[in-house]
Structure 1
Amino acid sequence: MAQQTYVEKSFERDTNYITDRIVADPQDGPDGDGARQWPVEAGRYRLVAARACPWANRTLIVRRLLGLEDAISLGLCGPTHDQDSWTFDLDPGGIDPVLGIPRLKDAYEKRFPGYPRGITVPAIVEETSGEVVTNDFAQITLDFSTQWTAFHREGAPDLYPEALRDEMTEVMDRVYREVNNGVYRCGFAGEQESYDAAYRRLWDALNWLEERLATRRFLMGDTITEADVRLFTTLARFDPVYHGHFKCNRSKLTELPVLWAYARDLFQTPGFGDTTDFVQIKQHYYVVHRDINPTGIVPLGPDLSGWLTPHGREELGGRPFGDGTAPGPPPAAEVVPEGHGA
C-alpha cells in the first residue's frame, strides 16, 4: 500500500479540524466560525477510533470513564493505514458493521466531497447518514464531559471541574504543545537543529511534570481529570515507541521515578490500561512511518510487565474518581485482545 511521508524540516501539525460540535442545546445555524451544532442523542452517533492513536485513545478512555458506551457506539480501525485513509481491517470483510464502509475516508467524503485534509481519528460519524460530524479531538472529550451528562453512568467522575478549568487550560495547553505534540516534533524533525530544539523542549516539559507530580497524585490535585487523560496516552507510548522510534531518548519512562509511578497509577485505574493496546501501538508507528523505519520491522521489546507493579502513589492521598466510582468492566466487544496489554 502507498505510504505517506512524515519527516519535514521542522514539524508543524495541521490543526485545521472539522469544528462542529454535538451539544445538549444546539443553536440553529453555524456559529461565528462556520461550525454547526448537532444535538446530543443516544444511538445517533458512532465514535470511530484506533487504539494505536494517542489522540483517539483519549476518547476511548473518557467514553469509558463516563459510561457512554450505550449512548455512543464504537467503530475501531486497524493499527495501520496508507496515505489515503484509516481502514476497518479488524472487522469481518474489512467493513464497519454499522456504517457499512471499508475506509473512514468514505464518511468524510460523504459529507465533504473531495475532502482536502487528512483523514484522522478520532472522528464522530452520524450513523443514519454516514456523514462525518467532527474530528476535533480536543473538543470531543470535553463535550463528552459537559454535553452528554444526561447519559453519564451513575458515579461518573467530573473530568472537567468548573472551578479548575482556567488552570486546567494552562496545564493542558503546555502538555499538548511540549509533550503530546513534542514527541512528534522530535520524531518527524528532518534537520539536526530542529531535532535538537524539539528534544530540549520536550525534556524541559517532562522535568516540569516530574516536579509538579512529586507532591500531588494527579495533575490537578487529588482526582483524575481530563488533563491526566491527555498526558497518559503519551506516557503509555513513550518506551514502546517515542524513546527509540522518535529519538526521545534522554531517559526511558521507567527511569523517571515520579512519572513512571504516576503512569502506573493511571494504567491500573479502570478505563486507562484496559483501553491500551501495546501491540497495535507498536504496529502503527513502526509500520506506517516508513520514512523513519524503512524496513517496517516492529521491535519485540520493551518488557511491559512493569506496568502492573505497585506504584505507591496512594501515599499522596486523593481519590481517583472523587465523589464518583470506577467504571465496571468494558463491554465484551471492546476488550483489548489477550496479550496486547501489559
Structure 2
Amino acid sequence: MKDQYDTKGSYVTEGQEFKRDTNYITDRILADPEAEWPVESGRYRLIAARACPWANRTMIVRRLLGLEDAISIGMPGPTHDKRSWTFDLDEDGRDPVLGIERLQEAYFARFPDYPRGITVPAIVDIPSGAVVTNDYNQITLDLSSQWREHHRPGAPELYPEHLRAEMDPLIKLIFTEVNNGVYRCGFAGSQEAYESAFTRLFDALDTLEDRLESRRFLMGETITEVDVRLFTTLVRFDAVYYSHFKCNRQRLVDFPNLWAYARDLFQTPGFGDTVDFVQIKQHYFIVHTDINPTQIVPVGPDLSGWLSEHGRDERFGGSPFGEGTPPGPPSAHDSVDPAHTAEAWIS
C-alpha cells in the first residue's frame, strides 16, 4: 500500500478516501495572566508559510486585527520535505528570531518525540523556543477573542457572538466540503473516492454561490471569520486546485457570484496583499510528487483578473469593515514580492 503525504501531515492510502489528521496541539494563548500561555505582546512568533491556505488565514486575521507589533511572524519557504518546513528564505537559512533552520526544532523543543506532522501555522514561545499550538482552527478565533487588548483601532469584529449560532455551521461546511474538499479530490485513492469528493465539493460551492446571490459577504454587509476561511481556498482554486487536484467541473471564474465575491475580498486590504501566487504554485506542484512527478510548475493561469471590477459594493452596499477602518499597508517584512502578485500579470 502506498501513502501520499499532504501539507499538514495527513495521508491517503491507495484505494481509500483521503483522511486528514486533525489531531493538533490544542494549547491556547489566553487573556488570563494566570494561564499557562498568557497573552503577552512580543512573546510569541507566528510561523506561517505564504503557500499554505491554513497558514494564510492566520496571516490575514493578524493583518485585519492589527496584531503585527504584538505577534511577530516567521515565514518558511514554499517547499518542504517529510521532516519539516525550513526557513530557506531567511539569511543563512535560519529564522532570525528563533535561530532555527527547521520548524521541526520548535516542535521537538516542546515534545522531543513529537509523532505527528510538523505543520503550519504554528505559534512558538520565543523565550523557550517551543511550539505552543498548531491548532489552526482555534488560532484565528483566539486572535479575535483573546488578543483584543492589542487590536488596532477600527479592527473588525470577525467572530461576533450574536452571529455564532449561524456562523459555526457555515464554518463546518466550508471546512469539511471546501477547504478540505479540494484535498479530498486531489488525494483520493480511488476513482470512486475521487468522484464522491468531486460531487461533495461542487455541491458545496453551488450552495455558497446561491448564498452570495443575495448578500455581499457570507454573513451580510461586513467581513467575518467565515469569509477569511473561504477566501484562502478560492484564491488557490484556479491557480492550483482546478488542475492539480482535478477539481475541474468549472473554474472559480465561471461562478458569477463566487468569483465577484472573491475579487471583492482580494481587493480588500488584509486579504490580497497576503497572497503570493508564485509560492502557492511552487508549493503544490513541487511538493506533491505523487501527483506531479515532474515537479513542473505551470506558468499560467493569467492572474490579472483578480484586479478587475467586481461590482458588489454598488450592488449590495455595505462595507468590509462596517463602522471600522481597513488596516494600513503591510510592512516591508510582511509584503509580498511584487513579481509574485496579480499586478505582475498586467503588462
How high is the TM-score relative to the length of structure 2? 0.94
Tell me how far 1:25 sits from its aligned partner. 1.7
- Asked if structure 2 preserves the Cα contact closer than 8 Å seen for 1:183 and 1:242, the reply is yes
Alignment partner, residue 345 of structure 2: none
Alignment partner, residue 17 of structure 1: 24
Residue deviations 1:231-275 (CA, integer Å, cap 9, x gap): 000000000000000000000001111100000000000000000
Tell me how far 1:27 sits from its aligned partner. 5.4
- Asked if structure 1 preserves the Cα contact closer than 8 Å seen for 2:5 and 2:12, the reply is no
Instruction: Report the Cα distance in structure 1 between the residues aligned to 2:33 and 2:42, rounded to whole angstroms.
Output: 17
Alignment partner, residue 333 of structure 2: 333
Alignment partner, residue 236 of structure 1: 235
Instruction: Report the Cα distance in structure 1 between the residues aligned to 2:12 and 2:234, rounded to whole angstroms.
Output: 22
Tell me how far 1:168 sits from its aligned partner. 0.5
Instruction: Report the Cα distance in structure 1 between the residues aligned to 2:161 and 2:323, rounded to whole angstroms.
Output: 15
- Asked if structure 2 preserves the Cα contact closer than 8 Å seen for 1:4 and 1:82, the reply is no
Task: Give the AA of the match of 1:160.
Answer: Y
Q: How does 1:150-165 map to 2 (within 5 A)?
A: 150-165=149-164
Tell me how far 1:303 sits from its aligned partner. 0.3
Q: How does 1:182-261 map to 2 (within 5 A)?
A: 182-261=181-260
Alignment partner, residue 64 of structure 1: 63
Tell me how far 1:332 sits from its aligned partner. 1.1
Task: Give the AA of the match of 2:83.
Answer: D
Instruction: Report the Cα distance in structure 1 between the residues aligned to 2:102 and 2:228, rounded to whole angstroms.
Output: 27
- Asked if structure 1 preserves the Cα contact closer than 8 Å seen for 2:79 and 2:282, the reply is yes
- Asked if structure 1 preserves the Cα contact closer than 8 Å seen for 2:46 and 2:73, the reply is yes
Instruction: Report the Cα distance in structure 1 between the residues aligned to 2:106 and 2:205, rounded to whole angstroms.
Output: 38
Tell me how far 1:114 sits from its aligned partner. 1.2
Instruction: Report the Cα distance in structure 1 between the residues aligned to 2:73 and 2:107, rounded to whole angstroms.
Output: 17
- Asked if structure 1 preserves the Cα contact closer than 8 Å seen for 2:48 and 2:75, the reply is yes
Instruction: Report the Cα distance in structure 1 between the residues aligned to 2:322 and 2:201, rounded to whole angstroms.
Output: 31
Instruction: Report the Cα distance in structure 2 between the residues aligned to 1:336 and 1:256, rounded to whole angstroms.
Output: 27
Task: Give the AA of the match of 2:18.
Answer: F
How high is the TM-score relative to the length of structure 1? 0.96
Instruction: Report the Cα distance in structure 1 between the residues aligned to 2:308 and 2:336, rounded to whole angstroms.
Output: 20
Alignment partner, residue 34 of structure 1: none
- Asked if structure 1 preserves the Cα contact closer than 8 Å seen for 2:12 and 2:19, the reply is no
Q: Residue 107 of structure 1 aligns to a residue in which SS?
A: helix
Residue deviations 1:98-146 (CA, integer Å, cap 9, x gap): 0000000000000100100000000000111100000000100000000
Instruction: Report the Cα distance in structure 1 between the residues aligned to 2:125 and 2:341, rounded to whole angstroms.
Output: 31
Residue deviations 1:15-41 (CA, integer Å, cap 9, x gap): 00000000102655xxxxxxxx41000
Q: Residue 208 of structure 1 aligns to a residue in which SS?
A: helix
Alignment partner, residue 177 of structure 2: 178
Task: Give the AA of the match of 2:184.
Answer: R
Instruction: Report the Cα distance in structure 2 between the residues aligned to 1:181 and 1:335, rounded to whole angstroms.
Output: 27
Instruction: Report the Cα distance in structure 2 between the residues aligned to 1:331 and 1:23, rounded to whole angstroms.
Output: 27
1:300 equivalenced with 2:299 (yes/no): yes
Instruction: Report the Cα distance in structure 1 between the residues aligned to 2:289 and 2:163, rounded to whole angstroms.
Output: 42
Tell me how far 1:319 sits from its aligned partner. 1.3
Alignment partner, residue 31 of structure 1: none
CA RMSD of aligned residues (A): 1.1
Q: Residue 39 of structure 1 aligns to a residue in which SS?
A: coil
Gaps of 5+ in 2: 343-347
Alignment partner, residue 33 of structure 1: none
Instruction: Report the Cα distance in structure 1 between the residues aligned to 2:122 and 2:33, rounded to whole angstroms.
Output: 19
- Asked if structure 2 preserves the Cα contact closer than 8 Å seen for 1:7 and 1:291, the reply is no
The number of aligned residues is: 332
Alignment partner, residue 316 of structure 2: 316
Alignment partner, residue 138 of structure 2: 139
Gaps of 5+ in 1: 29-36
Identical aligned residues as a percent: 71
Instruction: Report the Cα distance in structure 1 between the residues aligned to 2:20 and 2:12, rounded to whole angstroms.
Output: 12
1:274 equivalenced with 2:273 (yes/no): yes
Q: Residue 22 of structure 1 aligns to a residue in which SS?
A: coil
Q: Residue 280 of structure 1 aligns to a residue in which SS?
A: helix
Q: Residue 124 of structure 1 aligns to a residue in which SS?
A: strand
Instruction: Report the Cα distance in structure 1 between the residues aligned to 2:177 and 2:333, rounded to whole angstroms.
Output: 35
With 311-320 and 143-152 compared, the bigger mean Cα shift is at 311-320
Runs of 4+ in 1 over 3 A off after TM superposition: 3-7
Q: Residue 333 of structure 2 aligns to a residue in which SS?
A: helix
Instruction: Report the Cα distance in structure 1 between the residues aligned to 2:110 and 2:257, rounded to whole angstroms.
Output: 46
Task: Give the AA of the match of 1:82.
Answer: D
